Amino acid sequence: MALVADPETLIHANVHAMQTVYEPIAEAITRIREQGDGNVTAHRRLSHPLS
């Protein structure tokens, strides 16, 4: 699970480093695929703005 911080970056909990980190989206998708977890299968947009 990750949240998009801007068009090129996401923020997520990194289990390996036990930290919350910012990571370029393209690099995250490549890393996930290369570590054997397959392709990203879904993305969701919040239907209501946060207030």
Percent of the chain whose pLDDT exceeds 70: 90
Mind listing the pLDDT tens digit for each residue in 12-22?
887 777 889 99
Q: Per-domain residue ranges for the chain?
A: 2-37
Q: How far apart are CA 45 and CA 12, in angstroms?
A: 16
Q: How far apart are CA 5 and CA 20, in angstroms?
A: 13
**Is the pTM for the entire model greater than 0.75?**
no
**Is 90 exceeded by the pLDDT of residue 43?**
no
Mean pLDDT of 16-43: 85
Q: Name which of 8, 51, 48, 49 is nearest 28 in CA terms.
A: 8
Q: Which pLDDT does position 24 carry in this prediction?
A: 94
Q: How far apart are CA 22 and CA 9, in angstroms?
A: 7
